[in-house]
Structures are given as structure tokens and as C-alpha cells.
Amino acid sequence: MRSNINKCAGLLLALGLTVTATTHSAHADGEQYFPLQSYRIGPYAAGGSGFFGGFIDYLQYVNLKEGGVNNVKLTWSECETEYVVEKGVECYERLKHGLNGAPAAATNPLSVGIAYATLDRSTADKLPLITINHGRTDSTDGSVFPYAFPLQLNPYSEVSAIINYIGTESGGLEKLKGKKIVALFHGSPYGKETNGILELLAKKYGFKLTLLEVPHPGNEQQSQWLNIRRIKPDWVILRGWGVMNPVALKTAQKTGFPADHIIGNIWSNSEDDAAPAGNAAKGFISITTHPSGTNFPVLQDIDKYVIKANKGNLEDAKRFGTVYYNLGVVNGILNVEAVRVAQEKYGKRPLTGEEVRWGFENIKLDDKRLAELGALGLVQPLRLTCSDHEGGGAVRFQQWDGSKWNVISDWVQADRALLRPIIEESSHKYAKEKGITPRDCSKES
Amino acid sequence: MSFFFEVLVGGLLAGVMYSLVAIGFVLIYKASGVFNFAQGSMVLFSALTFVSLLERGYPFWLAFLLSLLIMLVLAWAIERWVLRKLVNRSPITLFMATLGLSYIIEGLAQSLWGAQVHGLDLGINDEPFEVFGLLLSQFDLFASAVAGTLVIILSIFFNKTRTGIALRAVADDPLAALAVGINLQRLWLIVWAVAGFVGLVAGLLWGARLGVQFSLSLVVLKALPVLIIGGFTSITGCIVGGLIIGASEKLAEIFIGPYLGGGIENWFPYVLAMLFLLVRPAGLFGERQIERV
């Protein structure tokens, strides 16, 4: 009996060691840890598996090619959230303390809900909360939200850039006067977040705006598109999510609205949004902060060091270079760059979340640095500061040709000067409600 | 006025798609008194299986037959390991079992075939054409024809065949049915298999419209008010309920929605269903249950 128990215990111990060895390296000394609140099952698994696949492959690539960041090896572990807020918070609490002594650098939940739910905790725990291309718009103001980073693009910048693009296509912003634009938005806080800004822009430029809500999840849109048929707009801005996107394109086709006058936002821009709509998606335009494709040196390197070495994270190798995967790679580049920048100040060692926060606030990615990273054209030039946690605010436009996205514009900048006072008004209101004294960014170094 | 009719026709056609999902519920409820919460997961599982086989190079009909076979195996497994153990348990126990099944099937589907979104082209044109100024699509008409055919076949099956009549007897009283020699296990296997077939058909039609992805399992939310209005035991009721729900939700969204801030078509069908429950609890075509106390 005892022998059986010993055998079982031995087996479990061996199993435990194997599992540990496959997910992390054995030594915590000189390691920087990334807690990953990922989602690979559930309704949004396609986005989650692509994004976290790209993120992990980039971390793996830095380890394999460079031995980590200045010899500090990168480690990570995943906790499945299924995109459920409660699980996301549970994962946050479980992983925030680091792993085997390796301190946590930042959290990247890729979920507006989880980001909102862990915002206060991140501030209290001094752990950066990265919400690349999403999150609270007012968290752009780092003086009030020191630990939140809506990197590259916040929701207000998104719509501002889209209106600027429509203006250019119309022959100048002044030509927007009298044009009809419909914004078809997901019936959720995410979907509604930009309505106020669109109304402001409509007033400023004189276009006629109609806001149409699609109830979650968006698998039936007949009435909205019949309404659009009646309105006869010049453009439709699609602020979709998940199944809402292909259904919008299919229903647009059914009601005779041309796909090349629909502009998808940042969460309507993946292959998973366009491909299921088949022919109906041909000509569909969307914004992107990062082109799909594998022609960037960093992706070719990942292919060489990670994918071809059978160390890639993707279950389906065909997803290499897709929109979600590349967003994960971009996110990896920015996270690792923050660690690298922070190491220059604090020393070449594993860093605390507070130190990595400083790294994020001092990221300066110009064309030269992007070329060194092999990411020129993949990542936009970015400069973050204490007061500006977004940094970029530019997008490119891409068009679906029936099988892949093709970039059709250069970087189009949002009107950040117009948006900044609105962001500050909102962030200061939040500070007042929460009793936060904003940092004086002029004194930060 | 033509816009009103356009919305009405669009709604009626959308309603037929809801009916397709509702039929799967009715089949199992009619035959076993079980409200099968896993019907949406079966729709997802069958469509995901089909499209995954198609992408692996199987021809359309072979992929369809293999998917059907896999649904039969699933039906057998459910009968063998879940339902057989729960014969004559309370309806709530059986309902909870199907709730658990729903999560198991969803997890199984994603584990087996992955979490990616797949496009599905059935080769039926979804571009619009005008008839008397109204927009129609070939796809919608095809879906309506499929639903109509299913209703006719299933109505004949339940009313005219020995198996169908035996299924109704089982639903009325499983113990009495067993006492007169009806093979309960075989019947449950048949009905779950037929529900799997209906799930596959609904999955393919919905999958062609939405893309085959996890959200397919959520189309059941559209079927619930259809069932309440049409009745849980009537296949014809599914079609009528679907038409009522489809038309009313679209008209409500367009003509009432603007006064309520828009986005009302998700909850409006439930308001309608609640009203029906108050005045006609068994639905329009459902069987009234009279119990001796």
C-alpha cells in the first residue's frame, strides 16, 4: 500500500516538475516575469489565441536570440480568463506577485472589462496595466492614471482618425459639411464610448451623424441596415466586435450598401472579421495600427528562431502574420522596450512594476529605433511621457481584397490637440471622484 | 409604406431562421419533456465539425454525412451516459443535466476543432433582388424552404409513424410507456439524433450567415421567445412563433426603438413572450397540461 502511495507521489512530483519545466525555466534569478491573463476558449478565443500567441512568440524570440533583455531572461505563465471579468480579476490576484521570485513587469488582459476591474488594483499594486489600442480613453492622462497605458491608440483617437480619413477622401475636411455618416456601434460600454466624440466632430465639421446601436452579440442586423438603406449615408463607421462584424458586412450586401464605404474600427479589422463574410467583405476598409503580413524583419526573425524551431505558440501555423498575431508581437515589442528602457535607469536586473512603469513612460520609438527592432512600418513612431500614455494616435487604412488585407494609406493622425482637453476634463473628474491628486508631470524625470 | 413592408418582410425571413433553431428544442421537449439547454451547443458543434472537415479537404456531402454520423455518436453518448441514468427524475434535474452538457459540448467543440472563426459558403447567393420594390435574398428564401420542408417531414414523423407516436407516449408518461413495452432508450437515441440533424442544418444556415464561430451557440437566445409564443410542443408553432418574433422585433427596432434610445430588438421579443405567457401560458400551439391533484 505504502509503495503504491510512494509511486503515486513520485509520479505526481515528476508530473509537476515536467509541467513547471515546460512553462518556465527553472531559475528565477535574473528573470523578468509577464503574467498573462489570456483567453483561449470561449466566445473571443480567436482574438485571444492570436494575440497571446504573438506576444509569447516575441518574448520567446527575445530569449532565444538575445538571451533575454540584457541577459535578464523573460518568463511568463498563462491564466485562462475566458474573457470573463471575474476570472480576469482572479487571474490578476493569482499572478501579480510574480513567479518563483521573478517580479511581474506588467499585466496585459486584452479586455476592456478586465482592465476596468483591475485598474484600481494595478495602481495600488504599482503594476502597469497595458491596454494596447483599447481601454479607458481618459487613462491617456498619466498624471491621473499613473499605471494605465492605452498604448498607441485610444478610442477617441480612433474615430478622429477615421473622420480625418473620410475628410481626405472627400477632398478636404471642409467637404465633410452636409455629408451623411452612420456610426453602427456595438451595444456595450465599449461600443458607446466614442458616440460623444463623433457628435462633437459632426458639429465641428458639419456632417450629419446618425448613431445606430446593434444589441450584443450582433448576430441579427436586418433592421439597422434597412434603416441605413433609408438614410443613404455616404459612409458607415463600423464599431463592431466579434460576430457583429461579419454579420454587418453580410447584411450590408443584402441591403445593397457598398462594402468600400464601410470603415471598420480597430476591433473590426482582423481576418476573423472579414473572411467569414466571404464575398460581402470584398472592398471593406478598416483602420489598423499594425499591418498584417510577415514581411517585417522582426517577423522573419520570429519565424527563423521560434516557429521553425517548433517553439511557436500558435496551434495553427497559418495564423502567423495575421492581424491579431501581429498585434501580439507589437505588444511584445512595447513591453520589452519598456523593460529595456527602465533597465538603463535602474540597472540590468529584474525590475519591479513601478520601475517598468517608468520604462513605459520613457519609450521613444523613432524610425531609427524601429528599424533596429526590425519593426519599421509594423509599429508607428511612438513617444510616451508621464502625461501622455497613448503616445501615437495614428492609424493606417487597409482594404480587404477577398483573401487578405492590403494597406491603402500612410499614417493618418488623430486630431490630438482637439481631443486632449476632453480627455483631461474626464480624467480630472475621475481624480475628483476618487480623491486622486494628479502628479505634476513637469517634475517627473 | 413600402419601407414598412420591407422591414416586415425582412423580419419574417429573419424569423424563419429563429424557427430553425427552435425546432431542435421542440423535438426533444415533445419526446422526453426535457428542455434541452444544450441545443445551441449542438448547433455550434455540428457546424464546427462540418466546416473543419470541409477545410481538411472532404467533399461537401461526405463532410455532411460524417458530421451527421458524429452527431449520432454524440446522441448515443448522451443517451448512454446521461439520460439513461436520469430516467424518471424531475424535469429540473434533466434541465440541469442539459445545462452541464451545454458547457461540455462547447468545450469539446473548441478542444477538437480549435477556436478560430471559419467562413462557410454554401454556394447560395446572398445578394439582394427586388420584387415589387421589396428587397429579397436568395439565401433567405432558401432558408425558408428548408424550414418549411423540415416542418412537413417532422410533422409527418410525429403524427403518422409508429416511432413518432411512441415518442409522444414517452413524453406523456415514461413509466406508462415502459410498461406497455416501448423501448425508451432507443426512442431517446432517435430523438436526440434527429435533434442533432436539425442542429446541423440550423448550424450550416446560421454559420453561412455569421461565420462558424462560438457565437453560434448564442442563437438559442433568439429561439426562446419563439418557443414561448409558439408552444414548446408544436413544430408548426415554431414557425408561427418565429414569424411573429422576427417581424415584431424588426418593426419595434425601427419604429419604437428611436423613442427608447435604440437597440431594443434583443429584449423586445421577451416582452412579447411575457405577454403571451400571461394570456396563453402554453403558447399558441402548445399542449395544455392538465394534472389531477
Which of B3, B117, B120 faces A230 most closely, judged by CB atoms? Answer: B3
CB-based contact B266 A187, cutoff 8 Å: yes
Contacting residues of A for B222, CB less than 8 Å apart: 219-220
ipTM, interface predicted TM-score of the complex: 0.85
pLDDT attached to residue A316: 87
Contacts of B218 in chain A (CB under 8 A): 43, 217, 219
Report the SS3 class of residue A1. Answer: coil
For residue A400, CA distances in Å to A382, A444, B191 come to 27, 44, 44
B11 touches chain A (CB under 8 A): yes
A315 at B interface, C-beta within 8 A: yes
Given a cut of 80, is residue A8 above it in pLDDT?
A: no
Say how many CA atoms lie within 13 Å of B53 toward its Cβ. 21
Q: Judge whether B108 is closer than 8 Å to chain A, CB to CB.
A: no
Q: What is the pLDDT of residues B262-279, one digit of tens each?
A: 889 889 999 999 999 999
What one-character-per-residue DSSP string does A225-250 give?
HHHHHHH--SEEEEE--TTHHHHHHH
Q: Return d(Cα A154, Cα B81) in angstroms, integer.
A: 51
Separation between Cα atoms, residue A212 and residue A92, nearest integer Å: 35
Predicted confidence (pLDDT) per residue in B190-233, tens digit? 988 999 999 999 999 999 988 898 888 888 888 999 999 999 98
Residue A194: its pLDDT value, please? 94
Measured distance CA(A84)–CA(A80) in Å, rounded: 9
- HEC letters along A120-170: HHHHHHCCCEECCCCCCHHHHECCCCCCEECCCCCHHHHHHHHHHHHHHHH
Q: Which domains does chain B have, with CATH numbers?
A: 2-279 (1.10.3470)
Q: Is A16 near chain B, with CB under 8 Å?
A: no
Is A43 close to B107, i.e. CB distance below 8 A? no
**CB-based contact A167:A176 (threshold 8 Å):** yes
Q: pLDDT, tens digit, for every residue of A331-358?
A: 999 999 999 999 999 999 999 999 999 9
Confidence bin at A19 (pLDDT 50/70/90): very low
Interface membership of A42 toward B (CB under 8 Å): yes
pLDDT of residue B292: 65
Q: Which residue in A254, A257, A318 has the most chain B C-beta atoms within 10 A of its own C-beta, making it the best mutation to test that interface?
A: A254
Question: Residue B114: which pLDDT band, with cuts at 50, 70 and 90?
Answer: confident
Dist CA A222 CA A353 (whole Å): 48
Contact B41, B101 (CB under 8 A): yes
CB A223 within 8 A of CB A250: no
Distances (CA, A) of B180 to A412, B10, B165, B169: 76, 48, 13, 10
Residue type present at position A12 = L
Evaluate whether A177 touches A208 at the Cβ level (below 8 Å): no
Spell out the residues 6+ positions from residue A259 whose beta carbon is closer than 8 angstroms to its own. A249, A252, A253, A280, A281, A282, A283, A284, A400
End-to-end CA distance of chain A: 65
pLDDT digits (tens, 9 = 90+) for A124-174: 999 999 999 998 999 999 999 999 999 999 999 999 999 999 999 999 999
pLDDT at B289: 67
Cell of B258: 428611436
3-class DSSP state of A314: coil
Closest chain A residue by Cα to residue B139: A254
Q: What domains can be seen in chain A, in order of their start residue? A: 25-153+293-394+431-436 (3.40.50.2300), 159-288 (3.40.50.2300)
Q: Which residues contact A329 (CB under 8 A, 6 or more apart)?
A: A54, A55, A57, A58, A290, A298, A299, A302, A378
Are the C-beta atoms of residues A216 and A272 closer than 8 Å to each other?
no
Which positions 172-231 of B are in contact with A (Cβ < 8 Å)? 206, 209-215, 218-219, 222
Sign of the CA dihedral running B138, B144, B149, B154: positive
Q: Report residue A86 as a C-alpha cell.
A: 471575474
> Nearest C-alpha of chain B: how many angstroms from A158?
23
Taking only the tens place, the pLDDT of each residue in A248-293 is 999 999 899 999 999 999 999 999 999 999 999 999 999 999 999 9
Q: What is the pLDDT of residues A368-401, one digit of tens each?
A: 999 999 999 999 999 999 999 999 899 999 999 9
Which of residues B155 and A433 earns the better pLDDT score? Answer: A433
d(CA B162, CA B168): 10
Cβ-Cβ contacts under 8 Å, B117 against chain A: 46, 246, 272, 275-276
Cell of A321: 502574420
In this predicted structure, what is the pLDDT of residue A7? 44
Separation CA A141–CA A386 (nearest Å) = 8
